[in-house]
Amino acid sequence: MATEGALLSATGITRRFGGITAVDGVDLHVREGEFLSVIGPNGAGKTTLFNLISGQDRMDAGRVTLEGRDITNLTPHRIAENGIARTFQHGRVFGNLTVMDNVLIGCHTRLRAARSRVPVLAPVIEILRALIRPAPVRAEDAAMRAEARDIIATFGDRLTPRIDQPTYSLSYANRRRVEIARALALHPRILILDEPTAGMNESETAEMQQIIGDLKAQGRTILLIEHKLNMVMQLSDRIMAMDNGKVIAEGTPAQVRNDPRVIEAYLGHSSIGGTAPAAKSLTEGAQ
């Protein structure tokens, strides 16, 4: 598809680990408000691709632009400042921080108390602001907390009653929810979700799908990695299928699910993550 008009454009992304090429010349373009899913068997390179886009890893070749600005291989915090928020496949909440503090870290890029532009003295000013807390700092803090509470309330009564508990005490599913809340707090231009329902049971998955659907309805730009293909098919505007580091198919859900290369890739692999046997749901969906 055309590069023009894309919010995020990645071209020729390549990452090698020793002998293997985990991501091999992948192109990816996302329009504003689009919901793009990336599917593929285990080890296809999906997570690595997202790591490269959001700065956790450095690519060997390729280029990423956000609204035409080059963000290739920027440090993760710079990429976050550019408005890309991502969740992690294996969950990376701050265990000893409360739910509230986890979400407030998500607000960090917007915190004016942390954004002194005065050269040289910026560190001193930041410490003094934290010590003295003049009215604007207090007001900002209160506003952020109110907003964090609203975001946390997105998840119904799953998180709100536990808002002051450290996240290590939460269930696995709740920690995944905290991660998404933290990502939303960044006000992302692009939200990247890496297997948000991994390890969740059926009803939890359905609940999460509902929430992600609501996020989509708000007009957000979302990139999703997911093995649960029913969910992918229902949510996505467009799907990209990967195998062995390469894009093997791309198109609407209907196009991708009928693509013989996709079915082949899924059937050819014995191990597929997630609970549902993906190849089965893929072929069922095709009927």
Q: What is the DSSP string of 120-188?
A: TTHHHHHHHHHHH--HHHHHHHHHHHHHHHHHHHTTTTTTGGGTTSBGGGS-HHHHHHHHHHHHHHT--
Does 48 help bind ligand ATP (rule: CB under 6 A)? yes
Segment 134-193, which members bind another protein (CB under 8 A)? 141, 166, 168, 182, 186
Determine which residue in the list 42, 160, 210, 252 makes contact with ligand ATP, applying CB under 6 A.
Answer: 42
Least distance in Å: CB of 37 to ligand ATP?
13
- Residue 51 vs 167, nearer CB to ligand ATP: 51
H-helix segments, the chain: 46-54, 76-81, 99-106, 122-132, 135-153, 172-185, 202-217, 229-235, 253-257, 260-268, 278-286
Cα–Cα distance measured from residue 252 to residue 132, given in angstroms and rounded to the nearest whole number: 55
Cα–Cα distance measured from residue 245 to residue 242, given in angstroms and rounded to the nearest whole number: 6
Task: List the end-to-end C-alpha distance of the chain, in Å, as a whole number.
Answer: 28
Residue 37's binding partner out of Mg ion, another protein, ligand ATP, none, with CB under 5 to 8 Å set by partner kind: none
Least distance in Å: CB of 49 to ligand ATP?
7
Residue 81's binding partner out of another protein, Mg ion, ligand ATP, none, with CB under 5 to 8 Å set by partner kind: another protein
Does 22 help bind ligand ATP (rule: CB under 6 A)? yes
Determine which residue in the list 3, 33, 70, 77 makes contact with another protein, applying CB under 8 A.
Answer: 77
Cα–Cα distance measured from residue 37 to residue 163, given in angstroms and rounded to the nearest whole number: 31
Determine which residue in the list 15, 29, 46, 86 makes contact with another protein, applying CB under 8 A.
Answer: 86
Structure tokens at 32: 């504003």
- Residue 144 vs 278, nearer CB to ligand ATP: 278
- Residue 44 vs 104, nearer CB to ligand ATP: 44
Does 44 help bind ligand ATP (rule: CB under 6 A)? yes
Residue 133's binding partner out of Mg ion, ligand ATP, another protein, none, with CB under 5 to 8 Å set by partner kind: another protein
Question: Half-sphere exposure of residue 217, counting CA atoms within 13 Å on the CB side?
Answer: 7
Query: Site residues (CB under 6 A) for ligand ATP?
Result: 17, 20, 22, 40, 42-48, 89, 273
